C-alpha cells in the first residue's frame, strides 16, 4: 500500500493484556481491495492477535430508509460471511457507530478505521478520538480505501474544476495502483464478541428499525460485492462499446457502479484495474476506457475534493461560486410560468413528460441516468419560487430516493446545477448565467421517447 493512504492518528504502547486488534468498517463495506482491512490484518499479525471487524448501524442516520438500508445490509451480509471464512469475527451494533465502538476499545491493542469524507463521517472519527485519546496503549490508524488518490494527496485546496484537478491526479495515480493481495490473518482464535444481529433475516431486521418505511427497497438493484462485480463484467463485455454515447438516456450504456461505490461495496481501484485488464485483452475500446476513467477517476475524485475542502458544502449560501450567486441575485424576481411543490414532483405530476419520467425512475428504482439528473434538477430550479428553495428540494429528493444519495457526488452534482465546477453561459431569464437545459435539447439529441417508453414499462 502506498504509505500516503495511511494517517497515524494516535501512537500507543504495547500491552500484553490486550486481546485483539479491531477494524472499524464504515465507509469501505467490502473485503476485496480494502486497504484498511489489509492494514488491520497486518497489524493483528504484528501483535499476534486476532482481528475483530466492527460495523455500527445508526437508524437515526439522516434520511435513513428501507431502500438504502436493505441495499447496505445485503452487502454487509456477504461481508460477514466472507470475513468468517478468513477467521475474522464480525460484530454489528445499533446506535451511533463511534459511540457503540468505544466499549470494544478497552480490550483492543489497535484500532484501524477507514476514511469517510462527509462532515458527519469526519465528526464521528474526531469524537471517537477525543473519547479515547487518554488510552495509553491504543494505537489508532486511519486508511483511505475509497479513492484512487487520497484527497489530501491529490490537492491541498478546493479545486476550481475538472481541468484544474485532472493534471494533479494524472501525475499521481499510477503510484496508487497499490493493492496486491489481501494479507492472511495468522491468529484465527475463536474469539466471540457480542453482536446485536447476525443478518440472517434482513427483512425482519428492517421491519424492526426506526427508519422511513415509505421508501421501499428497490427490486431493480441488489446490494453487495458479488452483484457489483457481475454488473461491472456485464458493462465491460456488453455495454462499454456504447459508452462514448452514454449521455443518451435511452441507451443503457452506463455501469450503475455509483450505487455500489457509495456504500464502498466495490472499490474504484478494483474497477480501474479491471478496466486496464479489459483494455489489454481487447474487451474495451480505448475511447470507452478513456471516458470511463475520466468519470471514475477525475469527476468522482473532484467531488471528494469539493466536500473535503468546501466548508458547508450542503448549505445553499456556501456551495457555489461568487459569479453564480451574483447572477442568481440578479434573477431572483424573474417571472415563472410554472411553480410546483414536492407533492407534484413525487407524484410525477408536472406538465413535462420527460421530467415526470425521470422522477418515476428515481422514485421506483432508486437510480436515474446522469443526463436526466441534470435535466431533472435544472427543471426544479426553473419551477421553484426561489433558488434556495430549489436547492433544498433537489437535495431532499436526491438523498431520499437515490440508492447512491448522500454521497460526495450528490452534493457536487447538485452544486454543479448552480454553477459549481461549471462556467457562466449566455444570460437568459430565470437562470441568469447558469447553464440552462430544455426538452427540445433532449428531443434533438436523443431518442428520448425510447427512454419514456422504457420507464413507462416498469
Q: How many CA atoms lie within 13 A of 299 on its CB side?
A: 16
Nearest residue to ligand FAD on Cβ basis: 413
Rounded Cα distance, 177 and 157, in Å: 23
3-state SS, residue 16: coil
Given a contact cutoff of 8 angstroms between Cβ atoms, the answer to whether 108 and 21 are in contact is yes
Is 320 one of the binding residues for ligand FAD (CB under 6 A)? no
Is 66 one of the binding residues for ligand FAD (CB under 6 A)? no
3-state SS, residue 280: helix
- Give the residue among 293, 291, 282, 176 at the shortest CA–CA distance from 237: 282
Q: Which stretch binds ligand FAD (CB under 6 A): 22-30, 107-115, 174-182, 369-377?
A: 369-377
Q: Which stretch binds ligand FAD (CB under 6 A): 74-82, 133-141, 305-313, 371-379?
A: 371-379
Pairing state of beta strands 6-10 and 139-143?
Answer: antiparallel
Given a contact cutoff of 8 angstroms between Cβ atoms, the answer to whether 222 and 67 are in contact is no
Closer Cβ to ligand FAD, 245 or 334, answer by number: 245
Other CB atoms within 10 Å distance of the CB of residue 86: 16
Q: How far is the CB of 294 from ligand FAD (least distance, A)?
A: 8
Given a contact cutoff of 8 angstroms between Cβ atoms, the answer to whether 20 and 41 are in contact is no
Q: Which stretch binds ligand FAD (CB under 6 A): 38-46, 328-336, 339-347, 368-376?
A: 368-376
- Please work out the total of residues on this chain that contact ligand FAD, with binding judged by CB under 6 A: 28
For residue 158, what is the DSSP state? -
Q: According to CB under 6 A, which residues from 255 to 284 bind ligand FAD?
A: 255-258, 261-262
Closer Cβ to ligand FAD, 132 or 297, answer by number: 297
Rounded Cα distance, 148 and 5, in Å: 9
Is 301 one of the binding residues for ligand FAD (CB under 6 A)? no
Is 365 one of the binding residues for ligand FAD (CB under 6 A)? no
As a whole number of Å, the CA-based R_g of the chain is 23
Closer Cβ to ligand FAD, 132 or 328, answer by number: 328
Q: Which of 18, 39, 77, 299 binds ligand FAD (CB under 6 A)?
A: 299
Q: According to CB under 6 A, which residues from 372 to 431 bind ligand FAD?
A: 373-374, 377, 398, 402, 404-405, 407, 409-410, 413-414, 416-417
Q: How far is the CB of 228 from ligand FAD (least distance, A)?
A: 10
Residues 6+ apart with CB under 8 A from 225: 30, 31, 32, 75, 78, 79, 260, 265, 266
Q: How far is the CB of 246 from ligand FAD (least distance, A)?
A: 6
Closer Cβ to ligand FAD, 140 or 298, answer by number: 298
DSSP 169-237: HHHHGGGG-----PPPPS---------S---S-HHHHHHHS-SB-SSPPPSS---SHHHHHHHHHHIII
Q: Which of 101, 143, 151, 296 binds ligand FAD (CB under 6 A)?
A: 296
Other CB atoms within 10 Å distance of the CB of residue 87: 18
Rounded Cα distance, 35 and 146, in Å: 9
Closer Cβ to ligand FAD, 90 or 402, answer by number: 402
Q: According to CB under 6 A, which residues from 140 to 179 bind ligand FAD?
A: none
Is 324 one of the binding residues for ligand FAD (CB under 6 A)? no
Q: How far is the CB of 270 from ligand FAD (least distance, A)?
A: 13
Closer Cβ to ligand FAD, 21 or 415, answer by number: 415
Pairing state of beta strands 6-10 and 20-24?
Answer: unpaired
Closer Cβ to ligand FAD, 93 or 240, answer by number: 240
Is 295 one of the binding residues for ligand FAD (CB under 6 A)? yes
Q: Which of 68, 93, 100, 254 binds ligand FAD (CB under 6 A)?
A: 254
First to last CA, the chain: 44
Q: How far is the CB of 306 from ligand FAD (least distance, A)?
A: 10
Is 328 one of the binding residues for ligand FAD (CB under 6 A)? no
Binding residues (CB under 6 A) for ligand FAD: these are: 246, 254-258, 261-262, 295-296, 299-300, 303, 370, 373-374, 377, 398, 402, 404-405, 407, 409-410, 413-414, 416-417
Amino acid at each position: 500500500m502506498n504509505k500516503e493512504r495511511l494517517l497515524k492518528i494516535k501512537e500507543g504502547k504495547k500491552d500484553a493484556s490486550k486481546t485483539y486488534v479491531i477494524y472499524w468498517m464504515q465507509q469501505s463495506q467490502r473485503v476485496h481491495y480494502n486497504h484498511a482491512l489489509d492494514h488491520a490484518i497486518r497489524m493483528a499479525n504484528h501483535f499476534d492477535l486476532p482481528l475483530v471487524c466492527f460495523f455500527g448501524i445508526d437508524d437515526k442516520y439522516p434520511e435513513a430508509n428501507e431502500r438504502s438500508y436493505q441495499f447496505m445490509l445485503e452487502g454487509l451480509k456477504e461481508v460477514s460471511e466472507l470475513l468468517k471464512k478468513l477467521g475474522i469475527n464480525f460484530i454489528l451494533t445499533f446506535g451511533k457507530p463511534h459511540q457503540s465502538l468505544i466499549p470494544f476499545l478497552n480490550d483492543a491493542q489497535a484500532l484501524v478505521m477507514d476514511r469517510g469524507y462527509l462532515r458527519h463521517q469526519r465528526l464521528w472519527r474526531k469524537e471517537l478520538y477525543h473519547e479515547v485519546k487518554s488510552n495509553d496503549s491504543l494505537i489508532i490508524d486511519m486508511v483511505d480505501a475509497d479513492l484512487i488518490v487520497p484527497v489530501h494527496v491529490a490537492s491541498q485546496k478546493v479545486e476550481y474544476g475538472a481541468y484544474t484537478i485532472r493534471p494533479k491526479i494524472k501525475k499521481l495515480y499510477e503510484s496508487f495502483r497499490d493493492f496486491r493481495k489481501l494479507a492472511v490473518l495468522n491468529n484465527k482464535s475463536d474469539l466471540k464478541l457480542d453482536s446485536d444481529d447476525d443478518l440472517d433475516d434482513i427483512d425482519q431486521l428492517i421491519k424492526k428499525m426506526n427508519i422511513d418505511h415509505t421508501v421501499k427497497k428497490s427490486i431493480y438493484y441488489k446490494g453487495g460485492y458479488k452483484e457489483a462485480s457481475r454488473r461491472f463484467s456485464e458493462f465491460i463485455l456488453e455495454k462499454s462499446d456504447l459508452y462514448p454515447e452514454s449521455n443518451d438516456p435511452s441507451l443503457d450504456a452506463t455501469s450503475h457502479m455509483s450505487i455500489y461505490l457509495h456504500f464502498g461495496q466495490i472499490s474504484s481501484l478494483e474497477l480501474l484495474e479491471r478496466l486496464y485488464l479489459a483494455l489489454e485483452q481487447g474487451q474495451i475500446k480505448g475511447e470507452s476506457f478513456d471516458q470511463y476513467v475520466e468519470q471514475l477517476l477525475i469527476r468522482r475524485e473532484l467531488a471528494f475534493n469539493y466536500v473535503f475542502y468546501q466548508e458547508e458544502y450542503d448549505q445553499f449560501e456556501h456551495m457555489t461560486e461568487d459569479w453564480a450567486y451574483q447572477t442568481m441575485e440578479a434573477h431572483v424576481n424573474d417571472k415563472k410560468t410554472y411553480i410546483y411543490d414536492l407533492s407534484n414532483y413525487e407524484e410525477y405530476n408536472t406538465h413535462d413528460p420527460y421530467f415526470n419520467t425521470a422522477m418515476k425512475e428515481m422514485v421506483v428504482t432508486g437510480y436515474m441516468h446522469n443526463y436526466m439528473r441534470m435535466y431533472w434538477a435544472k427543471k426544479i430550479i426553473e419551477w421553484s419560487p426561489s433558488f434556495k428553495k430549489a436547492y433544498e428540494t433537489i437535495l431532499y429528493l436526491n438523498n431520499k430516493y437515490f440508492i447512491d444519495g448522500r454521497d460526495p457526488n450528490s452534493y457536487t452534482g447538485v452544486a454543479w446545477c448552480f454553477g459549481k465546477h461549471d462556467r457562466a453561459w449566455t444570460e437568459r431569464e430565470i437562470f441568469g448565467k447558469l447553464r440552462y437545459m430544455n426538452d427540445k435539447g433532449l428531443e434533438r439529441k436523443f431518442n428520448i421517447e425510447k427512454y419514456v417508453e422504457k420507464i413507462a414499462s416498469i
